[in-house]
Homo-oligomer: A and B are copies of this chain.
Amino acid sequence: MAGYPNAPPNYGYGAPPPYGQQPYGAPSAPYGAPPPADRPPQDPYGASLPPAVGGYPPPPGASPYGNPFAALVPSQFPPGTDPNLVACFQMADQDGSGLIDDKELQKALSTYDQSFGMRTVHLLMYLFTGTNTRKIGPKEFTQVFYSLQNWRGIFERFDRDRSGKIDANELREALLSLGFSVSPVILDLLVSKFDKSGGKNKAIEYDNFIECCLTVKGLTEKFKERDTIYSGSATFHYEGFMLTVLPFLIA
């Protein structure tokens, strides 16, 4: 592993490129600068979530690529879950099956937060279950809820003028605070995708910010699974590559 040879020459806004040392951009040294004092220390993959809900749990019996069509095993609420959250899930789970589907999740989330597009809901379901079944149980619902609460806090911290939007630079800082250091080229790609004006406004609203976070976090974690020694590079077989990438297109 010899760093990231394709980084543009002026990469890093004058700071040494962080990729050579830390391929996934741990925020302890974002662009060579120490973390701001008002930002709590976090692990490189956004572990500021409560321990019970940090990261994406591997589904039971998961293959190296996950099984996108595995049935979801019914789950339980973690001990001490907020009763309001339990009530919210039970309201959504009208048939008492212990699982809620995509439309029910979309409705339940809009109770607590603003509305989300179905693509964002599908991406949430895929990443928190590791399957393509589009149903989640109490445990995954709790994880989704607390993750969104965490990301909402991050969004609001960077939306300093309370416009409901963050710009490209704020998006970069927000992703850094989640533990993801993205290059200027990737940042441009993300803004062109997740800006509702198609890149004209260069601004990201909250629901698209969530989709952006899910995409960067999900792809980075999938890559990291193949890069067990943190070398910054990973080898895929063709089948594994397609099974890694397609679910993000499919959500």
A residues lining the B interface (CB < 8 Å) = 1, 4-7, 19, 23-24, 63-65, 67-69, 132, 182-183, 185-186, 188-190, 192-193, 215-216, 219-220, 223, 227, 232-243, 245-250
Contacts and interface: CB of A to CB of B under 8 A. Distances in A.
B65 A243 contact: no
Q: Which residue of A69, A234, A240, A246 has the most chain B CB atoms within 10 A of its CB atom?
A: A246
A247 B69 contact: no
B19 A192 contact: no
B243 A223 contact: no
Contacts of A4: 237-240
A249 B193 contact: yes
A198 to B, nearest CB: 8
Given A219-B242, A245-B248, A249-B249, A69 B236 contact: no
13 contacts: A6-B243, A7-B239, A23-B238, A132-B192, A183-B239, A185-B243, A186-B246, A193-B250, A220-B242, A233-B236, A233-B238, A234-B238, A235-B236
A206 to B, nearest CB: 19
A6 B182 CA distance: 31
A19 B238 contact: yes
A232 B189 CA distance: 28
A6 B189 contact: no
A190 B132 CA distance: 12
The copy count of this chain in the complex is 2
Contacts of A243: 6, 185-186, 189
B193 A239 contact: no
Contacts of A235: 233-236
Nearest to A23: B238
Contacts of A182: 242
Given A234-B236, A238-B233, A189 B68 contact: yes
Given A238-B232, A241-B219, A190 B246 contact: yes
A232 B242 contact: no
A129 to B, nearest CB: 14
A244 to B, nearest CB: 8
Contacts of A6: 63-65, 237, 239-240, 243
